[in-house]
Amino acid sequence: MTPATSVVTAAAIIIANARAGQAERHGDSLAVQLTQHLQAAGLASIALPFPAVATDPEQRAALFSHLDAGARRVVVLGGDGTVRTIARLLLGRPVPIGIVPLGTANLLARDPGLPLAPTQAAAVQASTRVHHIDVARCNGEPFLCAALFGMATDLARAREAARGIGTWRMLPRMLRKAYWILKRYPFHSVRLRLDDAPATLRTRALMVSNNPLQPQAGLHPVRTALNTGRLGVYGVREGPLYDLPRLALTLLAGTWPREPRVFHRVCERAHIHTSRPLRTTALLDGERVQLQTPLRFDTLIGALPMLVADAG
């Protein structure tokens, strides 16, 4: 029988990305622990494979069949890109998504204060509450954290190529790659319309975040709210190469709002135009997507139900 007609009733669907950054060290044990925690709370679960659940029509049909049969939550074991992929499939449905973070940055888990240790995140999935968060879109493509353009996409390719070789071997490779890109990557002039306000910027990289970033010291950007219906637009203005170490320290210290070279605006809608239409590679929550300029951003306010740790 097809998946659509043979469905085992399950309250929870578990989707694990075996290729996520931290997945290898846990193997299958994390999914087993999650299953046990859910079962102890009276939630029967079923596992579906990733990425087949998004790319294979039969597995996708199985997902929708379980949702139609009454599944009440989907728990994703993976990074921000994995969560985005599954969130695209769930948009428009009232089924909340839970996260056991296994990626590199795990931004979507950090912002609402979810446990970043995978075993702890698995343990709390049975005692969560639903919080509705915004879904941002670029030319109709949804993202939950940020869209990156320009130099950042080349650095991400280098990071992917070096994955698995260890931090201490990866770091010098990434520094060499970053220096090479900085010397050769051109500045681009872009025209922006943020709500009704025009702006121009000459930069190597541009970021649009789903909800604004807050100035705070640290390696990872922070969003204190995920349901404001607003976007944050950020870029680094053109300047000398020798100034980059100072600028990097400014970003890490969280004092970038006072830095003249940092462009930052908050808006509800954003349009980004280039001098001529071009096809560009974007990173949407770390996933490469091909887009055509002009780039148009908007927000679906509170469109995605998300499971967060129960404050009680």
Q: What is the pLDDT of residues 112-149, one digit of tens each?
A: 889 999 999 999 998 889 999 999 999 999 999 999 99
For residue 192, how many other CB atoms are within 10 A of its CB? 20
**66 lies in which domain range?**
12-126
Is 308 domain-assigned?
no
Mean pLDDT of the chain, nearest integer: 87
- CA-angle at 26, arms to 154 and 171, nearest 5°: 30
Residue type, 304: L
Helix, strand, coil percent values for the chain (each to nearest 5): 30, 35, 35
The reply to whether 52 and 161 lie within a common domain is no
Is 205 domain-assigned?
yes
Q: What is the pLDDT of residues 7-30, one digit of tens each?
A: 557 899 999 998 887 777 777 888
- Where is the domain boundary, 94, 126, 158? 126
Dihedral (C-alpha) 281, 282, 287, 290: value to the nearest 10 degrees? -50
- Read off the pTM: 0.88
The reply to whether 149 and 255 lie within a common domain is yes
Model confidence at 177, pLDDT cuts 50, 70, 90, reads low
The reply to whether 189 and 117 lie within a common domain is no
The predicted pLDDT at position 245 comes to 81
Is 273 domain-assigned?
yes
Ranges 74-78, 113-117, 261-265: which has the least confidence: 113-117
Q: Which CATH number fits the domain that encloses residue 241?
A: 2.60.200.40
Burial (Cβ within 10 Å: 0-12, 13-18, ≥19) of residue 81: buried
